[in-house]
Structure 1
Amino acid sequence: MSNKVFVAGVGMVPFTKPGASESYDVMGEKAIRQALADAGLDLSDIQQAYAGYVYGDSTCGQKALYRVGMTGIPVINVNNNCSTGSSALFLARQAVRSGAVDCALAFGFEQMNPGALKSAWTDRAPAMEIFQKQSIELTDVPDIPNAIRMFAGAGKAHMDKYGTRLETFAKIRAKASRHAARNPLAVFRNVVSSEDVMNAPMLWDGVITRLMACPPTCGGAAAIVVSEAFAKKRGLRTDVLIAGQALTTDLPSTFEARDMIRLVGYDMAALGARQAYEEAGIGAEDAQVIELHDCFAQNELLTYEALGLCVEGSAERLVNDGDNTYGGRWVTNPSGGLLSKGHPLGATGLAQCYELTRQLRGVAEGTQVEGARVAIQHNLGLGGACVVTVYQKN
């Protein structure tokens, strides 16, 4: 079976800085309750639940869901690094699309600590060991946090190969701040200029400033997906269709190419985009709004090319032409993205779903993209996994 799958309800709590949030289970609970209320459903209507988080013990998903209620349904805890939230959504959609269930919940949360990401384990080989080793070999910069070295190194590779300027990444970061100023759920709503970004402290001289990196963030988000038959039976909304979706992992080229751009997931993102577009029957040119994984300003630029918004090497022109913001060809990250909205790892993909669902409903208020009918979501986790989702206004 291949059922149509609709987003019936979404929820999201305001993102906050580490130390300023409620407990992870409270954030998860609040997001779930919002999604249930938005859909007009009770917890007893949910047949399966998928909980996404990266930093937490086993069964944290149950801890959050039990605050809403205990109905005995399957709860599956998901950890796919920074693409965790979208991976939970992928599984929920797959369960409904296959006919296994008619109504599934995906929710995600993260209660993060300040500072750079690091593993909770020190007594075993890290999952990112091969990525870390090759990134050091390719950049010869061992003494900076891994994520900065990898994504900034990929940005540097684009600069070296295509002549892209550091100022272009600053423009992307400034654009994110302008968008976030319209979003009451974003953690950073202060507007910064390209000059502010360039004048911020350098994390790697000539390659990246502090403002080009997303902050650690706490938050929660949720989505409920349903079959068409269930929606009709219950009188639920069917105005947002998940028309295509793909979850991809790394290809041999990730390491064989010995290219920093490939090492940070470019090829699996491009593959996921092709698969999701094919299922939905669209091309990148058909979309109006995009939420993509801008964990670093550098990765936003790389993702323009991976998603097929432009050919390889031409993303700087897209930025300079203003085709990534209001009035341009696409609006990328109207929410403010990870750079300004924040990046609580397990919640990020579901927060993207929240934003795009509201965009297609036409209720996104300050961030609304006029005439939005097709939306693309891109959520990337190193190690690796990438989820690309296409939503259509039904």
Structure 2
Amino acid sequence: MSQVIVAGVGMTKFCKPGQQEPYRVMAAKAVNLALADAGIDATKIQQAFGAYIYGDSTCAQHAFYDVIQSGIPVVNVNNNCSSGSTALFLARQAILSGEIDCALAFGFEEMQPGALGSGWDDRESPFDRAKPVLDKFNAPDGPLALQAFGAAGRHYMDLYGAEADIFAKVSAKSRSHAVHNPYSMFTKPLTYQDVLNDKVIYDGYMTRTMACPPTCGAAATIVCSEAFAARHGITHGVKILAQAMATDTEKSWQDPIYAAGKGMTEIAAKKVYNMAGISPEDVDVIELHDCFTTNEVISYEGLGLCPEGGAAEFIDKGDNTYGGKFVIGPSGGLMSKGHPIGATGLAQCTELTWHLRGQAGARQVEGARLALQHNVGLGGAVVVTLYGK
């Protein structure tokens, strides 16, 4: 079996911590939206993969039971910020194995205000491997994600002579896209000067509006075989043309840019392009992991969208927005709609599916035929997925 079909997608509007419904409720809403979108009922789901990182084990079962209690396998997925895409990766593999022909990937998160933290300070941290490279490059103290992506941005500026305004311009671009997204939490336009003048949160250059907020929400994707789609009259399906996951190499602990995931991104992206027989230039629309705008810039190069050190020119030419080479983050990205970790990868899938179907409203990328998704988690894992009409 060579093709897996995205049969149905759904997501809730993300919200600030404290404003959310219980994760069980949000997740069930997203799953039911995906079922309705696919035009099937829950009895057709043969396996489910539920992604989250904040919560006890078997939260995925607790959420899925609000949809149906059918006795099927339910797998809980925790792969840091790439958890949602990892659930999709596993669901696709289950279909490709031939064991089943309909699977659900769903993700949810109830987050707390403020920077991400760990609940396990009585044992080794998986991020201990990154600390030496952050210390070597004089990363100031701060939460781990802020240190990692902040040090990566600083190293990028030092390496290529770039200015912080490139990260601010990316923030402003993302917010301009979010204006047209009813699912985005932030829709007020920003200029890059607004971003530069905002509160500095790290190393004298990174401001608050260069970082995504913690949010709560849920998203879901139903995938199936081509035969299942034909049997159930699913005619609006989107194909997963290629998908790859990659993890860290030794280079990750030698360079802050690679510690933030660039190497993993390069490995996964090359696999996807080779599997699909395309080049990056063939892609029309992209949702990438812009938890910090520094990471969006680094990911341009990791995904092969521009040459090494070429991000400033790429941004200034508008090749990351409507009218340029690519439309990157038409949803407004994590920067605008938020980042409820378990849900993020499935929300990206939902957005790209809408574009390939022509259902994205005022933010529609006209004529979109190939869509690329990039989701990264420190510690680490990257999932890159290519979708086609």
TM-score (normalizing by structure 2):
0.98
1:208 alignment partner AA: M
Q: Which residue does 1:24 correspond to in 2?
A: 23
Runs of 4+ deviating beyond 3 Å: none
Contact residue 7 and residue 223 of structure 2 kept, 8 A: yes
Instruction: Give the equivalent residue in structure 2 for 1:109.
Output: 108
Residue identity opposite 1:350 in structure 2 = L
In structure 2, list runs of 5 or more residues that go unmatched: none
Q: Partner of 2:326 in structure 1?
A: 330
Task: Tell me the residue number matched to 2:306.
Answer: 310
- Summarize the alignment of residues 89-238 of structure 1 with structure 2, pairs less than 5 Å apart: 89-141=88-140, 143-237=141-235
- Paired residue type of 2:357: R
- Does the 8 Å CA contact 1:242/1:389 hold for their aligned counterparts? yes
Q: Is the 8 A contact 1:6 1:238 kept in 2?
A: no
Residues 261-298 of structure 1 deviation map (CA, whole Å, 9 limit, x = unaligned): 11111111000000111112211100110000000000
Question: Structure 2: which amino acid aligns with 1:21?
Answer: Q
1:76 & 1:323 partners in 2: Cα distance? 39
Aligned residue number for residue 80 of structure 2: 81
Q: Aligned letter for 2:267?
A: L
Distance 1:111 1:345 in 2: 9
**CA distance, structure 2, for counterparts of residue 330 and residue 315 of structure 1:** 13
Q: CA deviation at 1:8?
A: 0.3
Matched, 1:67 2:63: no
SS in 1 for 2:137: helix
Distance (whole Å) between structure 2 residues aligned to residue 132 and residue 36 of structure 1: 43
Q: Is the 8 A contact 1:3 1:98 kept in 2?
A: no
- Offset of residue 132 of structure 1: 2.8
CA 1:307–1:140: 2 relative to 1, 3 Å: closer
Between the aligned partners of 2:280 and 2:138, the Cα distance in structure 1 is 32
Which one of the candidate residues 287, 297, 301 is aligned to 2:283? 287
What secondary structure, in the 3-state scheme, does the structure 2 residue paired with 1:200 have? Answer: coil
| Matches of 1:367 and 1:124, distance apart in 2 | 46
Partner of 1:355: 351
In structure 2, what is the equivalent of residue 12 of structure 1?
A: 11
- Mapped to 1, the partners of 2:200 and 2:248 lie a distance apart of 30
For structure 1, the residue ranges without an aligned partner over 5 or more in a row are: none
CA shift, 1:140, in A, is 4.1
Counterpart of 2:312, as a letter, is E
Which amino acid in the other structure matches residue 134 of structure 2? Answer: S
Alpha-carbon distance between aligned partners in 2 of 1:282 and 1:265, rounded to the nearest angstrom: 23
Give identity over the alignment, percent. 55
Asked if 1:387 is matched to 2:386, the reply is no
**Alpha-carbon contact 2:236-2:357 (below 8 Å) kept:** no
- Distance in 1 between residues matched to 2:303 and 2:206, nearest whole Å: 23
Distance in 2, Cα, partners of 1:345 & 1:239: 25
Letter in 2 for 1:237: T
Q: Matched residues in 1 for 2:279 and 2:138: separation?
A: 35
In 2, Cα distance between equivalents of 1:237 and 1:58? 36
Matched residue of 2:130: which SS?
A: helix
1:204 and 1:73 mapped to 2: Cα distance? 46
- Report SS of the residue matched to 1:69: coil
Matched AA of 2:385: T
Q: For each residue in 1:69-121, what CA deviation from the matched residue of structure 2 results, as whole angstroms up to 9, or x when unmatched?
A: 10000000000000000000000011111211100000000000000000011
Counterpart for residue 263 of structure 2: 267
Aligned match for 1:375, one of 368, 371, 378: 371
Q: Please state whether the residue corresponding to 1:7 is helix, strand or coil.
A: strand
State how far apart, in whole Å, the 1-side matches of 2:271 and 2:107 are.
Answer: 25
Q: Is the 8 A contact 1:81 1:384 kept in 2?
A: yes
